[in-house]
Structure 1
Amino acid sequence: MEGTFGGEPVGPGPGRRTKAVRQDPAATPLLEVAAMAKSFGATKALTDGSLSIAPGEIVALMGENGSGKSTLVKTLSGVIRPDSGDIRLDGEPLAPATPRAALRAGIVTVFQEILVAPDLTVVDNLWLGSGSPLATGKNERARRAEAERILSVLCPDPPALDARVDELDLMRQQVCVIARGLLRRPRLIILDEVTSTLDVTIRDRLFAELRRLCAAGAGALFISHRMDEVLSLADRFVALRSGATVGTLDRGEATAERLVRLISGEEAAKERVRAVRATVADSRPVLEAAGVRVRPGADPVDLTVRRGEIIGLAGLEGHGQDEFLRVLAGLLPPGAGTVRVVPPDGGDAVAVRSYRQAVRLGMAYVPRDRKAEGIADVLSSLDNFSVPTLRRDSLAGVIRHRMTAKRFRDFSRTVNLAPAPRTPVGRLSGGNQQKVIIARWLATEPGVLLLNDPTRGVDLRTKHELYDLFERLADDGMTIVMLSTEVEEHLNLMDRILVFHAGSCTRELTHEEADRESLVSAYFGQRHDALAHGGPR
């Protein structure tokens, strides 16, 4: 399995792209977008979005949350109509008024949101929206064969065609969505943050298939906030800032530092180094997992977390860290063992039996899937924020809305969110949606904060704002357990890292012990020399 995880090679597989596609300046671009603009009321989401993609080229579209990327993608996909600007496909004017019109033109978009019909089977989801077998000219047997082929290309252990999609984990649901897009044989494929739920094996398989597709003359527009991914995949890089295209770099010119500077208009942020805090070792235990088994046959996990400590949960997708975090939160019952937490008012530790009880005991859980588990996107930011704490503002059954609004303003400052209390939260960028969710649970004043991949799909600036927030919370005595899919976060933020493999916690690394090689090796169940001091404690 070749490719990278956190920027480091991890073994054999699809090779990296080593040079940019050579373009004929006289050739007609596959896609041209010129001076695209779109406003939503007083909000100018896009003011001058411009880019081009040549046949055979993979272009990375980059920018911070709120820079206009999603708006540009939605105009190309026929989801929204621009106020002005031009789109040309193969030199011909294009103005897709609906998503179906974009599909007919050969533009296929796979969005960050995992758009599946949960009560349908895998094979039905893959062909969803493609028309009847009569319309496509493919009978049921041909459809199943094509579905099986594309799933096996993407996934070493593909889901069963007749399995219901809601029985699959988040990663395999995303595989189904990506496979649906590839089955449509796109002229141009747009991938909007689709890798954030994929493990390194499936991600590298997807990249290999993208390269094959583009080698046959298609084009790709790729969006990711993971710098190692765009640098390993793209031929060119187009940056948006405040709704306008601010620059383009060819592959040979691009470095992480130059891209960050282009995206943000600032010098690249220096690498974070989390200081080792001796006070953590002396603080009292607040959370304990004793003999917790997350799946049959896995080894039991024993963990004691102290006040003010940040614990990282790491591993390849689907290896047990997500289940362990949900067990801590009371969302899943453990196969064996007990989770205990010290209540906010002190006293003896209490066994956690349910999510509702965990919240009462001062625990807060921030989910991974914002759309499905975190927000009601048609409700305002204020309404989403206030749900768990609304009772505090009730007097004799009457809600005192001024108190709710004040608390929202206070916690907006805590998470560095520009308050927009009446704006539907679905209109906010992914990073600001995440800030609303985190602010909501911080307002419950938890002693233990459980974070499930909280920086997924947010830009570099917002990531660093969240890192600063988590460090401040820990310094103030809050205990944090955080699942992360990014190596850098574990190395630079965590006091300790628990690495899961095949359902068991196979390594525990302190901040001082962890380095990139030892951590990535542990993801694959391998032991690096730096780990010779011992396994999980």
Structure 2
Amino acid sequence: MAGQTPLFEAAGVAKSFGATKALVDASLSVSAGEIVALLGENGSGKSTLVKTLSGVLRPDRGTVRMDGRPLALRTPRAALRSGIVTVFQEILTAPDLSVADNLWLGHGSAFTTRSEQMRRRAEAERILSVLAPDPPPLEAETGELDLMQQQVCVIARGLLRRPRLLVLDEVTSTLDVTIRDRFFAELRRRCAQGAGALFISHRMDEVLTLAHRFVALRSGETVGTVDRREATAGRLVRLISGEQAAEQRTRAARTRPTTTAPVLRARRVVVRPGAEPVELTVRPGEIVGLAGLEGHGQDEFLRILAGLRPPTAGEVHLLDQDTASAVAVRSYRSAVRLGMAYVPRDRKAEGITDVLSSLDNFSLPTLRRDAVGGAVRPRRTRRRFTTLAGTVNLEPRPAIPAGRLSGGNQQKVILARWLATAPRVLLLNDPTRGVDLRTKHELYDLFEGLTADGTAIVMLSTEVEEHLHLMDRVLVFHSGSCVQELAHGETDREALIAAYFGQRQETLVQGGSQ
């Protein structure tokens, strides 16, 4: 593509928020037919650059061109008119509107002829069927869909606008492998027809599979570009972080607890009508993974463990370590009181309050601990926050609104909040979704440190590598039932993904839930 005028080009883009320089000197280009991966740690400036290219933010300086002609991207509508369509990391839907209305939201006139309505309906059904083998009905209320189905709708809305440049900011983090691969196939097809794409993902296997070229940001500056022929995971990690890093996390095998008394037990829990009952016993110091394609029951099972939804049948018990008595989990409030904490998957909707400070978000469940004579002592709260921030490797900036933090730092605030309750059991719902590689490794170290101190962890993850290298054992769900339990070191990627589709392998472990 050398010598050709790029389809899209940004040069010297800078953006500051007061004294904070989010972008210093960001430059990149995308040619027709090319998928460019934009890489960088949380806080490197990726999201600010995306919002600038999308017309949400105005740059302080720099130029943006399409087909060599300067663009003035003063508003999102101006970006759309120029052929730039962005699918943001946040799942942006109108929950009270139907799927069909969400797909065409902001596109053309709201007053259309019957023939135009029929055309739109047919086009919406076509693009949804391309992305999903079981697409949501057009009449369904979007707010009633699960997180993955909502993301499918957002991606479909972007594709319906027939973009010349499609900007994708962490859009695969809620997709299962089937829908992700279908989307990648459609993206490749459109690029082969002359479109271009700017793709952001913290999943190294995705960018290495999809991208033609890699551009890295560090502290708001473009620090390098690598062609696909020269790219390895190690080289890209070093480019992103500026230091030597391992290509793949490995973990020394450690002895699973076998004699320690259990701390959590699920007895004949039925996730949904018609599913097989699930048995699970978790001991202190274990990390148990929950895996499967989206919508196959692992999220429901985790919420049942947390007391957030009742099972169709069966019971969940937390076991008192001193008396060995079992206490049934009847609600989330009772679960927290018994020593369990749940970290949600959707940080925006369930985890943080954007407008509140990091300190306020941290202290919500435990504020009464800082009260003396009925009055809260703010110094006590700050001391606790500083201590827990150190535990999760978070820079303690208590006054900053949580909505202004990167996704990784928001996750650390949520983790610090629940670690302040000193849980015996920590339930994690895809905790590394949308965070960079460095932060992932920091979280892995945190989780392993917690288990070394006796905390039991049950962790739902959408990343195959986490199940292979982090978990002691993995429960794989299919159609609402647990179809396999796989032990650390006794399975591989092929066997794990086969289990996602209900294909039973010889690596089944029978003894993990005794």
**TM-score (normalised: structure 1):** 0.93
SS of the residue 2:96 aligns to: coil
Which residue of structure 1 aligns with residue 227 of structure 2? Answer: 250
Partner of 2:289: 312
> 2:70 aligns to what?
93
Once residues 321 and 167 of structure 2 are traced to their aligned partners in structure 1, the CA distance between those partners, rounded to angstroms, is: 47
Q: Deviations over 1:409-467 (max 9, x none)?
A: 00000000011111111111111110000000001111110000000010110000000
Report the counterpart of residue 419 of structure 1 in structure 2.
Answer: 396
- C-alpha contact 1:518 1:531 (8 A) present in aligned 2: no
Aligned partner of 2:403: which letter? Answer: G
Structure 1 equivalent of residue 118 of structure 2? 141
Instruction: Please say if residues 130 and 136 of structure 1, whose CA atoms lie closer than 8 Å, have aligned partners that are also in contact.
Output: no
Between stretches 178-187 and 513-522, larger displacement belongs to: 513-522
1:185 matched to 2:162? The reply is yes
Query: Which residue number in structure 1 is paired with residue 466 of structure 2?
Result: 489
> 1:380 is matched with which residue: 357, 363, 367?
357
Aligned to 1:260: 237
Check 1:461–1:136 CA distance in 2 against 1; reply closer, same or farther (3 A cut): farther
Per-residue Cα deviation, 1:106-134 (whole angstroms, up to 9, x for no partner): 11100111111111110011011113255
- Superposition CA RMSD, Å: 1.7
Could you give the per-residue CA deviations for residues 376-413 of structure 1, whole angstroms, max 9, x where no partner exists?
Answer: 11111111111001111122332211111111100000
User: Whole-Å Cα distance in 2 between the matches of residues 206 and 279 of structure 1?
Assistant: 39
Deviation at 1:488, TM superposition (A): 1.3
1:205 to 161, 164, 182: 182
Query: Could you tell me how far apart the structure 2 residues matched to 1:270 and 1:235 are?
Result: 20
**How far, CA to CA, are the matches of 1:146 and 1:331 in structure 2?**
38
Q: Pick which of 129-138 and 209-218 moved more.
A: 129-138
Q: What amino acid does structure 2 have at the position aligned with 1:520?
A: I
Deviates more, 1:173-182 or 1:274-283: 274-283
* 1:455-480, Cα deviation, whole Å (9 max, x unpaired): 00101100000000000000001110
Cα distance in structure 2, aligned partners of 1:221 and 1:365: 34
SS in 2 for 1:530: coil
Distance 2:248 2:34 in 1: 31
- Supply the AA of the counterpart residue of 1:364: A
With over 3 angstroms needed to count, the CA separation of the structure-2 counterparts of 1:252 and 1:278, relative to structure 1, is closer
Match of 2:489 in 1: 512
Partner of 2:4: 27
- Residue matched to 1:390: 367
Q: CA deviation at 1:344?
A: 7.1
SS in 1 for 2:240: helix
Of all paired residues, the percent bearing the same amino acid is 74
In 1, the alpha carbon distance for the partners of 2:323 and 2:419 equals: 19
Q: Structure 1 residue 132 and structure 2 residue 109: aligned?
A: yes
Deviation, 1:532, is 8.4
> What's 1:15 paired with?
none
Shift in Å at residue 516 of structure 1? 2.2
Aligned ranges for residues 311-350 of structure 1 at < 5 Å? 311-343=288-320, 346-350=323-327
One-letter code of the match for 2:232? Answer: T
**AA matched with 2:471:** M
SS in 1 for 2:173: helix
Give the drift of 1:136.
10
Measured against aligned partners, the alpha-carbon deviations of 1:147-186 in whole angstroms (never above 9, x if no partner) come to: 1111111111111000101111110000000001111111
- How many pairs align? 514
> Post-superposition shift, 1:324?
0.4
**In the aligned structure 1, how far is the partner of 2:40 from the partner of 2:115?**
40
Cα distance in 2 between the residues matched to 1:266 and 1:139: 55
Among candidates 179, 198, 203, match of residue 221 of structure 1: 198
Q: Are 2:131 and 2:183, in contact at CA under 8 Å, matched by a contact in 1? A: yes
Q: For residues 338 and 533 of structure 1, do their structure 2 counterparts lie closer, same or farther at Cα, with a shift above 3 Å needed?
A: closer
Paired residue for 1:406?
A: 383
Alpha-carbon distance in structure 1 between the residues aligned to 2:447 and 2:381: 24
- Specify whether residues 344 and 375 from structure 1 end up closer, same or farther in structure 2 by C-alpha distance, changes over 3 A only: farther
The residue identity in structure 1 corresponding to 2:154 is: V
Aligned with 1:73 (options 15, 33, 50): 50
1:109 and 2:94 are equivalent in the alignment:
no
Q: 5+ residue gaps in structure 2?
A: none
Q: Can you list the C-alpha shifts for 1:305-363, whole angstroms capped at 9, x where unaligned? A: 01111111111111111000000000010000000002476551110011111111111
The aligned amino acid for 1:449 is L
Q: Which residue of 2 aligns with 1:501?
A: 478
Between the aligned partners of 2:238 and 2:114, the Cα distance in structure 1 is: 50
Give the aligned partner of residue 341 of structure 2. 364
**The residue matched to 2:85 in structure 1 has which SS?**
strand
What amino acid is aligned across from residue 201 of structure 2 in structure 1? S
The alpha-carbon deviation at position 277 of structure 1 amounts to 3.3
C-alpha deviation, 1:271, in angstroms: 3.6
- The letter for the 2-side match of 1:87 is V
SS at match of 1:365: strand
- The answer for the alignment partner of 1:9 in structure 2 is none
* C-alpha contact (below 8 Å) 1:344/1:447 kept by paired residues: no
**Structure 2 counterpart of 1:240, one-letter code:** L
**One-letter amino acid matched to 2:409:** N
Give the drift of 1:276. Answer: 3.6
1:135 and 1:177 mapped to 2: Cα distance?
A: 22
Post-superposition offset of 1:137: 10
2:344 aligned partner, one-letter code = P
Distance (whole Å) between structure 2 residues aligned to residue 472 and residue 276 of structure 1? 15
Range with greater deviation from structure 2 (466-475 or 256-265):
256-265
Q: Residue type of the partner of 1:184?
A: R
